[in-house]
Amino acid sequence: MKIFYLPVLILGMLACNSSKNMLPDDSTSTMTKNTTGTSDQLTYLALGDSYTIGEGVSEEGRYPSQLVTKLNAETTNTWAAPKVIARTGWTVDELEQGINKEEIDGKTYDLVTLLIGVNNQYRGRSVTDFEKEFEAMLKRAISFAGNDTNHVVVISIPDWGVTPFAQAQNRDASKVAKEINAYNRACKTISENHDVTYIDITEQYRKSGAELEMLAADGLHPSAKMYTLWTDKLVKHIEPVFK
């Protein structure tokens, strides 16, 4: 595979709060402001990091927006625009802080998705510590769904080790894959223990995550086309739940 180097990659690395322990961004990603729908609209809360905020793609291209668009087009339900609490580089504890700042405790949503953990892995944190933090975060996600576990979905962590960014950094792809697998096993086990659906996008990502059309300009994050594949998987689960 041809490795490419782009100026935006370097800029992203310099923008990570002067830290090498965070997956890079372009310093433009922010949390989505509160979006509320009318009383007859279903609501959706998306919790996560760069993969949820859609680093490097338009708002319409990221999977929470694509999901709502597709559900509105293919079902009889009407969904409000998603509320996204996510930021590039966030670990589980930083997501926790981000949620606290939004002051949404006590509010409930018809659907909640959770995709978090890649930055815990990237920073070399232990899986044991992650398990405790992830379970606490999942319980919080369940509370936002009105304690209806059928309305919560956990999405697996993509394997960034297959990307041109990882190759350019001389990262050991097999080591990254092993660590991502350990993190995802924890996510799946904890999800199953709480009767929450776990959707695996990692294997599919490993097959096509290095293809140029599946990448954002930074050579690391997914393109809108990759997010469409994730959206399709989510829709298959969500449509029957809300019939």
Its sign, for the CA torsion 117, 102, 216, 164, is negative
Q: For the whole model, what pTM was predicted?
A: 0.88
Place of tokens 């962590």: 157
Cβ pair 152, 197 in contact under 8 A: yes
Domain boundaries, the chain: 7-241
Over 109-155, what HEC string results? CCEEEEECCHHHHHCCCCHHHHHHHHHHHHHHHHHHCCCCHHHEEEE
Q: What's the CATH code, domain 7-241?
A: 3.40.50.1110
Q: In 10 A of CB 20, how many CB atoms?
A: 10
Largest CA distance in the chain: 51
For every one of its 243 residues, what pLDDT tens digit does the chain have, with 9 covering 90 and above? 444 433 333 233 323 443 456 676 644 444 544 444 556 899 999 999 999 999 999 999 999 999 999 999 999 999 999 999 999 999 999 999 999 999 999 999 999 999 999 999 999 999 999 999 999 999 999 999 999 999 999 999 999 999 999 999 999 999 999 999 999 999 999 999 999 999 999 999 999 999 999 999 999 999 999 999 999 999 999 999 998
Q: Round to whole Å and give the CA distance between 95 and 229.
A: 25
**Phi, psi values for residue 151, rounded to 5°:** -105, 20
